[in-house]
Amino acid sequence: MADMGMFHALGQNDDPNDPNSRHNVAPPHFRAQPAPPPAGYQQAGAPSFVGQQPQPQYGLPPQPSPYQQQQSPHGAPPPSISPYPPPQQHSPYGPPQNAYGPPQQQHGGYDPVGGLAQQMSQVDLMSQQVGTVSKAFKKKGRAYHQLDQSPDAMGGGPNMPPFSPNVGDNLQPGFLMHQQQSMVSPMTPGGTQFPMQAGPNFMPQHPGSSGVSSTGGKIDPLLIPSIPAARDRAIEHFRTTVFPTNSRLAPPNASSDFIAIDQQNASPRICRLTMNAVPTTAEVLNMTHLPLALQIQPLAKPKPGEEPIPVLDFGEMGPPRCRRCRTYINPFMTFVAGGSKFQCNMCLFPNNEVPSEYYSPIDMSGGRMDREQRPELMRGTVEFVVPKEYWVKKYDSLPPADGKGGYPMRYLFLIDATEGAINRGSLEATVAGIREALYGESAYEDVAEGEVSEDGTKRRLPEGCKVSICTFDKEVHFYNLNPSLDQAQMVVMPDIEEPFLPFQEGLFVDPYESRSVIEHLLDNLPSFFVHLKNPEPALLPALTAALSALEKTGGKIICSLSTLPTWGPNRLVLREDTKIYGTDKEKTLFKTEQVAWRMVAGKMVEAGVGVDFFMTPSAYIDLAAIGHVAATTGGETFFYPNFVKERDSKKLADELCHTFHRATGYQALMKVRCSNGLQVTAYHGNFFQTGVSSADVEFSNIDEDKAVAVMFSHDGKLDPKLDAHFQSALLYTTKSGERRVRCSNVVAAVTEQVRDVVRWADQDAVLGVMAREAASRMIEKPLKEIRGALTEKCVEILAAYRKHCSSASGNPPGQLILPESLKEFSMYVLALLKCRGFRGGSVSSDLRVHSMRMLKAMSALELQLYLYPRIIPIHNMADNDGFAEPSGHLKLPAAMRASFAFAEEGGVYLVDNGQYLLLWLHSQVSPNLLVDLFGEGYDNLAALDPKMHQLPVLQTALNAQVRNIIQFLASQRCSRKVSLQLARQGLDGAEYEFAQALVEDRNNDERSYVDWLVHVHKYIQLEMSGQRKKDEGIGAGIDMAAGMAGLRPHYW
Query: Rule CB under 5 A: which residues touch Zn ion?
Result: 322, 324-325, 327, 344, 346-347, 349
Q: Report the C-alpha gap between 479 and 402 in whole angstroms.
A: 27
- DSSP for 971-1007, written as a single string: HT-SSSPP-EEEEETTT-TTHHHHHHH-TTSSBTTB-
Amino acid at 336: V
Q: Which amino acid, one-letter code, is at 718?
A: L
CB of 349 or CB of 938, closer to Zn ion: 349
In terms of CB distance, is 631 or 672 closer to Zn ion? 672
Task: CB nearer to Zn ion: give 611 or 724.
Answer: 724
345 vs 924 by CB, closer to Zn ion: 345
Q: Which is nearer to Zn ion, 128 or 345 (CB)?
A: 345
Question: Please, is 242 exposed, middle or buried when counting C-beta atoms within 10 Å of its C-beta (0-12, 13-18, 19+)?
Answer: buried
- Compare residues 348 and 447 and give the one whose CB is closer to Zn ion: 348
Pick 377 or 758: Cβ nearer Zn ion:
377
Q: How far is the CB of 190 from Zn ion (least distance, A)?
A: 17
Could you please report the per-residue DSSP string of 195-214? -----TTSSPPPTTTTT---
Distance in Å, CB of 344 to Zn ion, minimum: 3
Smallest distance from Zn ion to CB 343, Å: 8
Query: With contact defined as beta carbons under 8 Å apart, do 1019 and 794 qualify?
Result: no
Shortest Cβ 86–Zn ion spacing (Å): 54
CB-nearer residue toward Zn ion: 429 or 750: 750
How far is Cα 783 from Cα 788, in angstroms, rounded to an integer?
8
**How far apart are CB 572 and Zn ion at their closest, in Å?**
48
Give the Cβ contact number of residue 68 at 10 Å: 17
Nearest to 225 by CA among 1010, 841, 1029: 1010
Nearest distance in Å: CB 292, Zn ion: 20
Question: CB–CB of 303/267 below 8 Å?
Answer: no
Write the DSSP assignment of 109-133 as a string of letters: T---STTGGGGGTT-EEEE------
φ/ψ (deg, to 5) at 438? -85, -40
CA neighbours within 13 Å on the CB side: how many for 257? 24
DSSP reduced 3-state for 169: coil
Alpha helix stretches (DSSP H) within 538-588: 539-550
CB count, 10 Å around CB of 1051? 21
| Minimum CB distance to Zn ion, residue 563 (Å) | 53
Which lies closer to Zn ion via its Cβ, residue 352 or residue 826?
352
Instruction: Pick the closest to residue 99 from 288, 260, 226 (CA basis).
Output: 226
Strand (E) positions, 562-687? 609-615, 637-639, 664-674, 678-684
Q: How many Å from the N-terminal Cα to the C-terminal Cα in the chain?
A: 46
Task: Supply the minimum distance, in Å, between the C-beta of residue 332 and Zn ion.
Answer: 11
8-state DSSP, 897: P
Question: Smaller CB distance to Zn ion: residue 328 or 825?
Answer: 328
Q: Which amino acid is at 48?
A: S
Report whether 678 contacts 454 (CB < 8 A).
no
Measured from the CB of residue 747, what is the shortest distance to Zn ion in angstroms? Answer: 15
Least distance (Å) from Zn ion to the CB of residue 128? Answer: 42
Least distance in Å: CB of 695 to Zn ion? 15
- Nearer Cβ to Zn ion, position 431 or 747? 747
Question: What is the nearest approach in angstroms of Zn ion to the Cβ of residue 779?
Answer: 36
**Secondary structure class of 725 (helix, strand, coil):** strand
Instruction: Closer to Zn ion by CB, 349 or 359: give it.
Output: 349
Q: Decide whether 314 or 349 has the Cβ nearer to Zn ion.
A: 349
d(CA 14, CA 368): 13
Question: C-beta of 680: minimal distance to Zn ion in Å?
Answer: 15
CA of residue 1050 relative to chain centroid, distance: 25
| Shortest reach from residue 675's CB to Zn ion, in Å | 10
Of 453, 423, 459, the C-alpha closest to 440 is 459
To Zn ion, the closest distance from the beta carbon of 282 in angstroms equals 22
Decide: helix, strand or coil at residue 465.
coil
- Residue 384 or 801 having the CB closest to Zn ion: 384
Please give the sequence-ordered ranges of beta strands (E in DSSP) within 952-1011, or none if there are none: 980-984
In the DSSP assignment, the letter for residue 583 is: S
The Cα–Cα gap between 229 and 233 comes to 6
Identity of the residue, 324 or 571, whose beta carbon is nearer to Zn ion in the bound complex: 324
Nearer residue to Zn ion within complex by CB, 321 or 739: 321
Determine the Cα–Cα distance for residues 350 and 341; give it in Å rounded to an integer: 7
Min separation Cβ 324 and Zn ion, Å: 5
Tell me how far apart the alpha carbons of residues 434 and 440 are, in angstroms, rounded to a whole number.
9
Whose CA is closest to 795, among 498, 1017, 574, 978?
1017
Angstrom distance (rounded) from CA 1050 to CA 712: 11
Q: How far is the CB of 345 from Zn ion (least distance, A)?
A: 8
> Whose Cβ is closer to Zn ion: residue 676's or residue 928's?
676
How would you classify the pairing of strands 311-313 and 381-385? parallel
CB nearer Zn ion, residue 326 or residue 394: 326
Q: Minimal distance in Å, beta carbon 847 to Zn ion?
A: 46
In 3D space, the residue among 613, 586, 592, 652 whose CA is nearest the CA of residue 844 turns out to be 586
Asked whether 197 and 149 are in contact (CB, 8 A), the reply is yes
Alpha-carbon span 231 to 878, nearest angstrom: 20
Q: Which amino acid is at 637?
A: T
State the DSSP H helix or E strand holding residue 468, giving kind and residue range, or none if neither: strand 466-472
At what angle are helices 1009-1024 and 825-834 packed, to 10 degrees? 120
